[in-house]
């Protein structure tokens, strides 16, 4: 092996490299903003290169996305909150997506802290949508507040049960949660298609030709605080999502359950040795995660969707985007909130809000998927880089005394 020659050079070289590793390690462990920001910037740069390669101007494209997301509204003071103003409308729509993404992000972040990878956000979200739709279509005589609350709690509970199945399987049989949540996704997707499809139990009663759910009645609709309720304004569900960020932080950092969840996440064997019922933690962490995703479904259904069809079930992807949100947000409350806002803007700015004459939305929509993929890749790669770096250092240490 060729280690003989470099051995002589090790002492001077080892110092800076160790420092770098330690710094990077601290930045990573502390939930530091450095790595995620670098990840984001890199992903956007790579995206820009692709835009340039397709013969467009990346600067114009990103500016278009920025405006499409309504972010320019933030810099236009005094603020004109009337959503007839295009940028205000765009931002109100970005906030709608942010609401969903915060909760789908938390649904991935929470079990991550317990050492579990929940890929079932989409399925849990769909289960929440279906249950919220059922509650929203039924109980037409109820007053608004209990009706909305019932819809929200029922959907969150359904999501918790759905994810809890994966946690239960993990705890009892050791079935890997990645596999079981993926399979539960498909059960939810096909189940929802059956329920809303032609002749399905939750299909609308007024148009048998349309494979769509019934429409949520007025009393179950969450009030809108920004924009027109007839034109998909932003509903107060946004504040519920913000509150959930706080709840997430409180559970993790200020409760026994949170302590045990984190301990299990660091090292399940050590946690078990310390007297923590690791199996219970798996079930609880998954159930809490599912409740977040189910809540996302409820807020969407009662906030602005009101109706969902078989084709919509097939096209829905937002639960999966929660994975990228949680990874970029480093599985922390603040990080998830910021990442959800970024992805909400990106998603809205590249698809619905973008001026089609600036950049073809068909291409721009793919740009979102690409940036999302790059972020997941870089986040994974950064752990890989650390791993390689650390093992190199260990190798040198072992070689150095000889």
Partner 1 sequence: MRKPLLAAAALALVAVVTAGSVATAAPKATFTAALVSDIGKFNDKGFNQSQLAGLNEAKAKLGVKTISIQSNSSSDYLPNLTSMVRQGANIVSAAGYLLAPTLSQVAAQFPKVDFTITDDSVHGFDFQKAKEIKNIEGLVYASNQAGCLVGYLAGEMTKAKGGKQVIGAVGGIEIPAVDDYIVGYNYCAKLADPGIKVLVGYSQDFVAQDKCKTVAQNQIGQGSQVEFQVAGGCGLGALNAAADAGIWGIGVDVDQYAVAKNVLTSALKRVDTGIFDAIKQASGGHFKGGSDLLFDLANGGIGVGKISPKVPAADVAAMNALKAKLIAGTVKVPVAKGSDLLGLLPGATVGPTH
Could you identify the residue written with the tokens 């929509």?
365
Min CB(346)–partner 1 separation in Å: 13
Residues at the site binding partner 1, with contacts judged by CB under 8 A = 63, 66-67, 71-73, 75-76, 80, 84-87, 89-90, 93, 193, 197-198, 206-207, 209-211, 228, 230-232, 300, 304-305, 307-312, 314-317, 348, 351-357, 361-362, 365
Largest CA distance in the chain: 83
Is 255 or 355 the residue whose CB approaches partner 1 more closely?
355
**Separation between Cα atoms, residue 333 and residue 105, nearest integer Å:** 9
254: exposed, middle or buried (C-beta count within 10 Å: 0-12, 13-18, 19+)? exposed
By beta-carbon proximity to partner 1, the closer residue of 82 and 267 is: 82
The nearest distance, CB 66 to partner 1, in angstroms, is: 6
State how far the Cα of 123 lies from the Cα of 125, in Å rounded to an integer.
Answer: 5
CA dist 293 and 336 (Å) reads 14
The H or E element spanning position 225 is strand 224-226
Burial 160-195 (b: 16+ CB within 10 A, else e): bbbbbbbbbbbbeeeeebeebbebbbeebbebbbbb
Q: Give CA torsion, residues 360, 365, 369, 371, to 10 deg.
A: 50
**Shortest Å, Cβ 100 to partner 1:** 9
Q: Which residue, 202 or 310, is less far from partner 1 as judged by CB?
A: 310
Burial class of residue 233 in the structure, from the number of CB atoms within 10 Å of its CB (0-12 exposed, 13-18 middle, 19+ buried):
buried
Please, are residues 93 and 70 in contact by the beta-carbon 8 Å criterion?
yes
Nearer Cβ to partner 1, position 65 or 169? 65
Q: Tokens standing for 306?
A: 């009101």
Minimum distance, C-beta of residue 228 to partner 1, in the bound complex (Å): 7
Chain center to CA of 68: 21
Residue 169 CA to residue 162 CA, distance in Å, equals 11
Q: How far is the CB of 175 from partner 1 (least distance, A)?
A: 28
In the complex, minimum distance from the CB of residue 210 to partner 1, in angstroms, rounded to a whole number? 7
CB of 38 to partner 1, least distance (A): 15
Pick between residue 9 and residue 357 the one whose CB is nearest to partner 1.
357
Q: CB-wise, 63 or 279, nearer to partner 1?
A: 63
9: its two tokens = 């050079």
Cα distance between residue 301 and residue 388, in whole Å? 45
Nearest to 156 by CA among 180, 135, 137, 187: 135
- In the complex, least distance from residue 184 CB atom to partner 1, rounded to whole angstroms: 20
Looking at the Cβ atoms of 90 and 332, the one nearer to partner 1 is: 90
Nearer Cβ to partner 1 (125/282): 125
Please report how close the Cβ of residue 301 comes to partner 1 at its closest, in angstroms. Answer: 11
Nearer to partner 1, 66 or 389 (CB): 66
């Amino acid at each position: 092996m060729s280690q003989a020659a470099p051995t002589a050079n090790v002492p001077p070289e080892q110092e800076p490299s160790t420092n770098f590793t330690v710094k990077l390690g601290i930045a990573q462990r502390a939930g530091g903003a450095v790595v995620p920001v670098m990840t984001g910037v890199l992903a956007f740069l790579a995206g820009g290169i692709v835009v340039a390669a397709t013969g467009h101007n990346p600067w114009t494209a990103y500016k278009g996305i920025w405006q499409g997301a309504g972010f320019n509204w933030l810099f236009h003071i005094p603020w004109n909150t009337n959503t007839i103003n295009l940028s205000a409308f765009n931002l109100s729509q970005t906030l709608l997506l942010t609401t969903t993404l915060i909760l789908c992000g938390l649904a991935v972040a929470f079990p991550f802290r317990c050492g579990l990878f929940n890929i079932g956000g989409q399925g849990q979200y769909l289960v929440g949508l279906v249950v919220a739709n059922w509650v929203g279509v039924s109980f037409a005589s109820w007053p608004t507040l209990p009706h909305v609350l019932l819809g929200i709690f029922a959907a969150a509970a359904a999501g918790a049960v759905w994810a809890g199945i994966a946690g239960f399987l993990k705890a009892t049989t050791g079935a890997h949660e990645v596999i079981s949540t993926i399979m539960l996704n498909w059960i939810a997707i096909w189940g929802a298609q059956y329920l809303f499809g032609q002749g399905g139990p939750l299909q609308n009663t007024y148009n048998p030709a349309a494979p769509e759910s019934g429409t949520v009645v007025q009393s179950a609709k969450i009030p809108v605080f920004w924009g027109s309720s007839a034109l998909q304004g932003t509903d107060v569900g946004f504040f519920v999502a913000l509150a959930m960020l706080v709840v997430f932080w409180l559970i993790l950092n200020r409760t026994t359950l949170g302590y045990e969840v984190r301990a299990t996440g660091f090292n399940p064997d050590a946690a078990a040795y310390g007297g923590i019922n690791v199996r219970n933690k798996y079930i609880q962490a998954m159930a809490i995660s599912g409740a977040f995703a189910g809540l996302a479904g409820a807020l969407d259904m009662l906030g602005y969707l009101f109706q969902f069809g078989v084709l919509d079930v097939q096209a829905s992807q937002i639960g999966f985007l929660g994975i990228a949100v949680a990874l970029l947000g480093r599985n922390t409350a603040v990080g998830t909130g910021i990442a959800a806002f970024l992805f909400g803007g990106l998603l809205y700015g590249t698809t619905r809000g973008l001026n089609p004459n600036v950049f073809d939305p068909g291409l721009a929509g793919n740009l979102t998927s690409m940036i999302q993929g790059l972020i997941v890749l870089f986040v994974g790669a950064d752990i890989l880089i650390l791993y390689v770096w650390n093992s190199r250092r260990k190798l040198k240490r072992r070689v150095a005394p000889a």
